[in-house]
Amino acid sequence: MTSILNLIGREKELFSADIKAHEDHLSEIVSTSRFLVLGGAGSIGQAVTKEIFKRNPAKLHVVDISENNLVELVRDIRSSFGYIPGDFRTFALDIGSVEYDAFFKADGGYDYILNLSALKHVRSEKDPYTLMRMVDVNVFNTDKTLRQAVDAGVKKYFCVSTDKAANPVNMMGASKRIMEMFLMRRSLQIDISTARFANVAFSDGSLLHGFNQRLEKRQPIVAPNDVRRYFVTPKESGELCLMSCIFGDNREIFFPKLSEELHLISFADIAVKYLAEKGFEPVLCSDEDEARELAKTLPEQGKWPCLFNGSDTTGEKDFEEFFTDDETLDMARFENLGIIKNDADFDQALLGEFEERIDAMKRDLSWSKQDLVDLFFRMIPDFGHKETGKYLDSKM
């Protein structure tokens, strides 16, 4: 933990004071409750699962599409925490599948459902087919599992949103904003809370996680020098989700308060800190060819080739924000957790139109990226999407 904090430019954990102040109540609720974690083997899902497990829940079931990540989650938990008297099991299921529906029908006995499943990458908007799967995972699977939760009498439903849903500029952020609209509709039937938070440092598939892969494979470190982001640790992401799930009122969105503990830092700055911790001096290269060539010789000299340049790909937001000017905030309830309070504000006709148009595209087995972009603009008139024609997959 200390190592990750140092790399993202911090000295202490964000939520330790809030966790300490509410630990007794938090542990009491967890120890007497039944939990289902969806998408529980991803980076945030694993962090949430650990936060629940270590407080001895009565029941903890974890569902994820990744069989391998579930195996590692169990190994990690057994090696770190051991065992609990409660019912702890994992299931390798796609929550959009009929197998998951059968699983939920056979059980369904949960007090809390936490949905951490998502297509989270900005790069996933490069083609219309992955983009449609993003709509399915981020919007329709969420709504389906919400309906199931209502029918089963689940007490509370939590799901992750993203800071990119506030004034979105990419399709991923916009899909989460649309998801929030669907949540508002279901909030009339079940209590729902969510969280928007910063980048999770070294989460699976992230650029920082890629630094580990590049060193292991002896490849150049590449990072934008003009993109600055807020970062939380995996443990902090789990704490934020659990606090929102247990203590959030209906329709509330939790987010980390901006303070001296949470500040913007560039990917290039983290790369320099990362290499220093690994014992390497960064060597700036002028292009990809030079960087690839120097990767063959520099490591033996205690140096590592780096390519730091500006970002020009579709979907990159110039700055990050957790809330918009027209959202109502509660900044007093917790020390380092802010809360966005929402009314059940949604347009039923617009949500119905979205469902119908997506269904029509699927029936025809034909749609373009522009079809989906246009539909997103219909849902979010001030959507700040800008198409540059360049995507992250065209770069190292």
CB contact set of 246 (below 8 Å; sequence gap of 6+)? 26, 29, 30, 112
Question: Which one-letter amino acid corresponds to residue 72?
Answer: E
CA distances, 82 to each of 50, 69, 79, 106, 248 (Å): 11, 18, 6, 28, 29
Show Cβ contacts of residue 94 under 8 Å, excluding neighbours closer than 6 positions.
65, 100
The pLDDT tens digits for 341-360 are: 999 999 999 999 999 999 99
Over range 114-121, report the average pLDDT: 86
pLDDT for residue 332: 95
pLDDT at residue 230, as a whole number: 84
H/E/C letters for each residue in 260-310? CCECCEEHHHHHHHHHHHCCCEEEECCCHHHHHHHCCCHHHHCEEEEEEEC
Handedness of CA 343, 348, 349, 355 (dihedral sign): positive
Residues contacting residue 206 through CB under 8 Å, at least 6 positions apart: 43, 199, 200
Tell how far CA 266 is from the center of its chain.
19
Asked whether 201 and 287 are in contact (CB, 8 A), the reply is: no
Q: Tell me how many degrees the CA angle 199-216-288 measures, rounded to the nearest 5.
A: 75
Give me the pLDDT at residue 72, please.
Answer: 96
Q: What is the mean pLDDT of residues 47-64?
A: 98
CATH number 1.10.260.40 given to 2-201+231-256: no
What is the share, in percent, of the chain residues with pLDDT greater than 70?
Answer: 91
Asked whether 137 and 113 are in contact (CB, 8 A), the reply is: no
pLDDT of residue 204: 79
Q: pLDDT grade, residue 391 (50/70/90)?
A: low
Q: Using DSSP, state whether 44 is helix, strand or coil.
A: helix
User: Using one digit for the tens of pLDDT, what is the confidence trace for 274-324?
Assistant: 999 999 999 999 999 999 999 999 999 999 999 998 876 544 544 566 787
DSSP string, 217-265: TT--EEEESS-EE-EE-HHHHHHHHHHHHHHPPTTEEEEEPPBTTB--E
> What's residue 315's pLDDT?
45
DSSP E strand boundaries for the chain: 34-38, 59-64, 87-92, 112-115, 156-160, 191-195, 199-200, 221-224, 228-229, 231-232, 252-256, 265-266, 281-284, 303-309, 328-330, 337-341
Q: Is the pLDDT of residue 258 over 80?
A: no
> Where is average pLDDT lowest: 85-89, 163-167, 208-212, 314-318?
314-318
Mean pLDDT in residue range 1-19? 85
Task: Report pTM.
Answer: 0.88
